[in-house]
Chain A
Amino acid sequence: MKKVLLIISILALLAVIAQAKTTITVWTFFSGGEGFIVTDLIKKFNAENPDIEVVEQIIEWGELYNKLTTAVVAGDPPDVSVMHLAMIPDFASRGALTAIDSYVSKDILPDYVPEIISKAHYNGKLYAIPIDTHPLVLYYNKKLLKKAGLVDQNGEALVPKTWDELINYAKTAKTKLGLDVGISAENGPMTGERLFIAYYTQLGGEFYDAKTNTIKLDLEKAKKTYEFIKSLFDSGIMKSMDYNTGESLFQNDQSPFHLNGVWAMAVYPTLNLEFGVTSVPALPGSKPYTWADSHTWVLPKHPKDDLNKIKAAVKFIEWFARNSAEWAKAGHLPVLNSVLRSDAFLKLPMRADYAQVANFVVPAPSMKGWVEIRQKMWEINQSVILGQMTPEQGAKELQQAIKNVLSE
């Protein structure tokens, strides 16, 4: 009798466990418009999946990566965390992430924009589910362009397709309207890393050598890129400024062109601003390649793998990626082809104007140490703009920086 009771109670206990929800903690750093969308999507997921409960914890933007490192050391990380694509190698190489190859569905990977999903791998293993890409794009002020007479036969503002066109239009608008700048952009990451990568890639330059599995730099093309960026500043079309100044100038009709990421689309349409958005210009003969980073979901490494939690976590992050048309309301571009082509996404305002950019994105190479190299890029670029380094010295300095980081 006692034995039967024991068996019954064990069975009952197992039934309870089986019914119990798997709780997944998720760390995010999204706030404002982006934050609401994530929270709403999590609510929706929880409603659709009664066996899983996703709990969101919002971490301060600048602190997430430090906190995540400490949490992994302490053996108590969240089950899922947001992570920029460019950060994955630094974390994966230190054993801080769980490889998810064997847990993801077979049909999701082929659906991805190839450039993005390849960078979610490190050393051949998949570590993340990307949910968007946020490339550098070109914003233009229709009102200013029309005022400056830069219109086609239909009276619509001219949209530059090449760098030469952009420079000409910017110069014309600047002189005709007596503006301080022709193109506004922040001069740290925006020109030093993002504009550099766009132009350098269009010249045919690469950062990653698949043969030797290292970061490389084409000195001649890097030099040409620095010459190009410097010429924009020397001619007065661009001026050194911080991020907020660049945005304010554009938002207040004081700059006809503006280089920024697509995340600005979360704000600009809400302003009283006549603007358009398009891909960055292209060099003749090249496609409009442009820098991009991407938000992804990763599974931080726990001291002990809990298969149940891993499966539930992967289920959640895949679901999120498949529902990223909703997430795209924050301005980001989806990275699943099925979502990119979906009506739900294309019906969002102006998205059709820049959706094609997703096919020309150049994410950071999937290499450890990129975070340090890009900081160098920001500084070298500023030195070149300020005339403290020639473009040639800048290119050499960048090559040396890459060598130093790789020799660590």
Chain B
Amino acid sequence: MTVYNKKKHTLLAYLFFLPFGVLLIIFKLIPFVNSVRMVFYKWDILGTPQFIGFANFTRMFSDKVFLSSLWHTFYFVILTVPPIMILSFLVAVLANSKMHAGGFMRSAFYLPYTLTISVVCLTWALLYNPYFGLISKATKSIGLKTINWLVDPTWAMPAVAITTVWWTMGFCVVLYIAGLQQIPTSYYEAAELDGASGFKKMIFITIPLLKRVHVLVIVTQIIASLQIFGQVYIMTAGGPAGKTRTVMQYIYEQGFRYFKMGYAQSMAFIMFLIMLVFSYLQLRLMISSSKEELI
């Protein structure tokens, strides 16, 4: 390839990048810079922004509602990420097996993921209903006390978490199935020759070789769960007594209901930093695991 051609190619590459690049700058970069600037201002969307320095941040860390929302958000992450990971792994193993149920399992667990959030939440809200819901009918029939799921402060968040696990785990099942299919069967054959049990094969072959998938699932689910908004907004509206209010909902309320854009933006900025940490963690873990594979 001549020097001239190389230049031409580079030019062509930039040309192809141009439409995307322009859109990226207009719709992502400029708003991002603006939004970071907004954390130093008080702004009601219609008036002129008023510079207030770091006041939004000092306020945030003495705001009881923000701190409780932050805790509710992490509580939701704790309630959803481990079950999603463990359940989707187990389902993937079953779906990947040669059993007849494999195809059924695959579709049964992936289907919920194709539903829209409002359908999922309204359906589950009905299931949870203590007077008409299926769950209370079932618990009543075996003599258990009826739980008023969505308006009970102890059960509201777990109820939302159960719904979320049911809704989203199908996606992780697919990731795990893809990972499982990449493990060469020769490993298992070798292990069988050495007389390894199914359990041992699971512990020493399947789980370690799926490390990249584990990292991917954990990190994407943590980031997704940190952004929980729709489910609580539809199912509990943040109640009872604000016990299921998450940071995203608080940002929405402050920004779009009370028109405190600067304050909302500052909280969004903190959430951005938290998610950045997890993304960085993912990157590092992915790099280290791919290095291991080279060895």
Contact = CB atoms under 8 A, between A and B. Distances in A.
Interface stretch (A112-120, A167-175, A237-245): A237-245
B258 A379 contact: no
B44 A94 contact: yes
Most buried by A among B46, B257, B260: B46
B66 interface: no
A90 B239 contact: no
B131 interface: yes
A371 interface: yes
Given A66-B256, A239-B148, A375-B253, A383 B47 contact: no
A378 B239 contact: yes
A35 interface: no
Contacts of A95: 46-47
B45 A240 contact: no
Contacts of A164: none
Contact of B46 (A65, A94, A245, A248): A94
B56 to A, nearest CB: 13
Interface in B239-295: 239-242, 253, 256-260
B46 A188 contact: no
B240 A72 contact: no
B121 to A, nearest CB: 12
Interface in B35-72: 44-47
B47 A386 contact: no
B84 interface: no
Interface residues on B, range: 20 to 34
A188 B239 contact: yes
B153 interface: yes
Nearest to A93: B44
A280 B100 CA distance: 62
Contacts of A260: none
A90 B151 contact: no
A229 B46 CA distance: 39
B129 interface: yes
B34 to A, nearest CB: 13
B237 interface: yes
Contact of B241 (A65, A96, A248, A386): A386
B240 A240 contact: yes
Contacts of A371: 257-258
A320 to B, nearest CB: 26
Contacts of B241: 379-380, 382-383, 386, 388
A379 to B, nearest CB: 5
Chain A interface extent, by class: 20 to 34
Interface in A245-301: 245, 248-249, 254
Nearest to B46: A94
Contacts of A96: 46
A380 B65 CA distance: 12
Chain A interface helix/strand/loop/mixed:
helix
B172 interface: no
Contact of A254 (B46, B131, B151, B240): B131
B157 to A, nearest CB: 14
Contact of B47 (A94, A239, A240, A244): A94
A194 B252 CA distance: 24
Interface string B138-160: 00000000001011110000000
Given A188-B237, A382-B239, A180 B46 contact: no
A37 B103 CA distance: 51
B270 to A, nearest CB: 21
Nearest to A369: B258
A252 to B, nearest CB: 8
Nearest to B150: A242
Contacts of A244: 125
Interface in B95-151: 125, 129-132, 148, 150-151
A208 to B, nearest CB: 19
A382 B240 contact: yes
A369 B151 CA distance: 27
A73 interface: yes
B268 to A, nearest CB: 16
Given A239-B148, A375-B253, A388 B153 contact: yes
A229 to B, nearest CB: 14
30 contacts: A65-B256, A66-B256, A69-B45, A69-B259, A90-B259, A94-B47, A94-B259, A95-B46, A180-B131, A240-B148, A240-B151, A240-B152, A240-B240, A241-B131, A241-B148, A241-B151, A242-B125, A242-B150, A245-B129, A254-B131, A369-B258, A372-B257, A375-B257, A379-B239, A379-B242, A382-B240, A386-B240, A386-B241, A388-B153, A408-B260
Nearest to B256: A66
Nearest to A243: B237
Contacts of A245: 129-132
Contacts of A225: none
Given A73-B46, A239-B148, A408-B260, 11 more contacts: A69-B45, A72-B46, A94-B259, A187-B151, A188-B237, A242-B125, A242-B150, A372-B258, A375-B257, A380-B241, A383-B241
Nearest to A404: B63
Contacts of B132: 245, 248
Nearest to B122: A244
B148 to A, nearest CB: 6
B222 to A, nearest CB: 28
